Structure 1
Amino acid sequence: MDRASAGLAVLPETAAVLAVRRAVRAWLAETGAPRPVAVALSGGADSLALTAAAVVEAPRVHALIVDHGLQADSTEVAARAERAALRLGCATARVLPVRVGRSGGLEAAAREARYGALRSAATEVAEASDSAELPVLLGHTLDDQAETVLLGLARGSGGRSIHGMRAHDPPWGRPLLGVRRDQTRQLCADLDQPVYDDPHNFAPDFVRSRLRGEVLPLLEQVLGGGVAAALARTADQLRDDDDLLDGLAADALTVARVGGDLDVAMLAAQPPALRRRVIRAWLLDGGARALTAKHLHGVDDLVVRWRGQGGVAVGGGAPGFRLVASRRRGRLTLERSTDGFGPDRAQDTEAMRETD
């Protein structure tokens, strides 16, 4: 079934429609020739606007609708989104029921379940059509980017935590990071398309909801407007810096590696920003997870503030074990430990004082 017979063949040329279409067209051009895509559709204004534009700009669009089962009417909401996808002209529309756990909080658990379902479904669609990996387009807007930067700033984990979301982070695509939320809502109004407003987006129990409804409007009022756009520009600039530093760190990591260890002298000669990135990449390669600034500074101290201290436990490993970074004989080593502190500290410290 082609687009013309499946749904809307032509969208009205309103300002909102043109803004969203241009954003999708630019993303497709920047990531390669226009190709089939999947769109994560919730039934909200952002994802509906993205779907409508993608149907016109991409050769083929598959709608993926995640039903989190967190509201009593979630099944009907998903069904309405499925019908809207087909009316807009999607080639296929598929509802993905998921079970949301509670690990890490409701928001984090729902996000984990959602992204897992989307990734699996996109892979299945790609395999069924005998095509390469299918990009999954997400309806994140400039406003979402600003909220993400503020959340990262509150964590205080350095530039990486406030560089926001990437427009292209395979398999995820975010064409609307330069589009405002009021534009997506206006597009839906221009199409006379009903919009579902998730009550979780307005619940005061969720930090992002309060950022959206209270903090950002107050910042806009106090600072005279333009705050969301300024936060998004800051994220763009920081991502460029991060990309450059990550490339340099990858080269430095190759030089500093000695088997699975790192040469301390080579690390110590690097500038702090680069050295900590090398350490981060090395830890992640070794299986570390959920690294924090405290972890990185602790391991960095083994290099430049060496006083014979014991190892630094980092997140990762396996059940019953923790990963511990230690310094021995001029090298950083990463080992599994049953107690989270590495080898016996007193004995280990004496050995390191004698041999380092």
Structure 2
Amino acid sequence: MIQQIARARHGLMMSGAVALAMVVSTPAAAQVDARLERIEAQLRALQRTVFPGGDQRFFEPEITPQSNNANTPTPGISSSAMTDVLARIAAIETQLTRLTAATEVNENALNALTQRVAAMEAGRAVTTPSTQPALQTPAPISTPTPTPGPTPAPAPASNQPSGVIAVPGSGTSGPSAARLAGVQAISKPATGDMGEDEYTYGFRLWEAKYYPEAQQQLALYIEKYPSHRMISYGRNLLGRAYLDAGDPRTAATHFFENYQSDKQGARAGDSLLYLAESMIQLDDTRRACIALAEFGDTYPALATGRLQTMYDGLKGRVSCN
């Protein structure tokens, strides 16, 4: 009797649990269904934004779980609520994958177009004559031996480099047509690094032996980009432009400034040797010896390496105590 009562009690408890599960599951399923419908609606809105008009070349304009899942039961065949939910989730995941891929493709294409437009605009800005820096009149300097060359004249109205500018009212003729053409034939690079482009342009003028033009260009570079990574090269080359033009006194000033500004600079040691060269040309043996001794003490690696030939040659030209 007791066992029968226990079995009956157990049966009632099981029946109650099943009934309770059915009551609870119905609101939960409705809640999941409502959330899925809201997500599907949001995906349809996003789809219309990415692909206006629901272009069939990409995917269906509406989410249809039954067509995107091979395991989804066909109409007319009953399926459980869980199977239907899984099918709809699979459809949502497929749509998200496609939308993500389409978004990445669009972003890559937009980035490529942006880079191309920026490069085109930069190219036009560099090649436009009005953006080319005009060479300025060099400051008057005292030169022991005048530099041979054509007599300078007032600069033309063009912004292209035009050589040395004459002193107003001097009545001298302008530079030759060949010199003007030679200077204008030297192109200014456009690498995107404006400081390096300015320095390279000055280097090209110096290399072509257009020393006054190189002096102006390098002075412009030093003024505009005093912290550029090539500044030690620029200050040293400016001194060489004056030294090669026959003005060792002004050259010595630039060599000393480059050495004093940054003794660890890439061309500080070179400037110290060229300072000695300038002093030798000025017959100032004492300062030349000081510069050579400083170079040997400060840059022993250069004295026995890259600059050894120049160092030994300069020491052979002076008698130092």
TM-score class, shorter-chain normalisation, is under 0.3
More helix by share: 2
TM-score normalised by the chain length of structure 2? 0.22
TM-score normalised by the chain length of structure 1? 0.20
More strand by share: 1
